[in-house]
Amino acid sequence: MAKTEFFRCNGATERADKLVCLSSSNYLLIFGLETDADGNKYTWRKYYDHKPTVREIKQDISDLINAETDAKILTGFTWNGKPVYLSTENQQNFKAAYDFARDTNGATLPVKFKLGEDADANPIYHTFTKFEPLADFVTKATAFVIETLNDGWKKKDIDYSIFETED
């Protein structure tokens, strides 16, 4: 059973989640309504060479949304105009530095982090010399991760029975 990958279909004006029977062995899944950075609306689409089960569709949509959510967490956060790479390891390091600074009344400061890279792949560093900016940074990064996860969960919260088709 060959499956294709999801692809974007630009020009959408409204959400139209459905499974379209194209022939006895070809189906098209249409899902979501997204807006890109330029304000263009699109839906996700995926071809199947078989009639997918609702369980298969749910798994495919979940995988797509998880990948989008992970990518947004990794590279979608900026702090004070600086792009921040929020890998799990970096999140843990930022939180640990915050905890140590808080617990020692700032005795572990200054602390220097590579936040990410600019468009030319040059590293962007920031040195936290005071607790307040570090707390602001960690609080905003954590809020961004939580909001992004919540957005992903909301996208998955649909009635998957709408993808059932009649033969």
pLDDT tens per residue across span 97-147: 999 999 999 999 999 999 999 889 999 999 999 999 999 999 999 999 999
Do 73 and 23 share a domain, yes or no?
A: no
pLDDT at 77 over 90: yes
Helix (H, G, I), strand (E, B) or coil at 88: helix
pLDDT of residue 16: 84
Number of other residues whose CB lies within 10 A of the CB of residue 48:
20
Do 28 and 69 share a domain, yes or no?
A: no
Do 124 and 143 share a domain, yes or no?
A: yes
* pTM recorded for the entire structure: 0.87
Do 75 and 152 share a domain, yes or no?
A: yes
Do 32 and 80 share a domain, yes or no?
A: no
End-to-end CA distance of the chain: 19
Non-local CB neighbours of 99 within 8 Å, separated by 6+ positions = none
| Residue 167 domain-assigned (yes or no) | no
How many Å is the Cα radius of gyration of the chain? 21
Do 20 and 48 share a domain, yes or no?
A: yes
Burial class for 100, CB neighbours closer than 10 Å (0-12, 13-18, 19+): middle
Q: Return d(Cα 114, Cα 123) in angstroms, integer.
A: 7
Local structure of residue 163 (DSSP, 8 states): G
Structural domain containing residue 111:
54-162
pLDDT at 73 over 70: yes
The count of domains in the chain is: 2
Question: Mean pLDDT, the chain, as a whole number?
Answer: 93
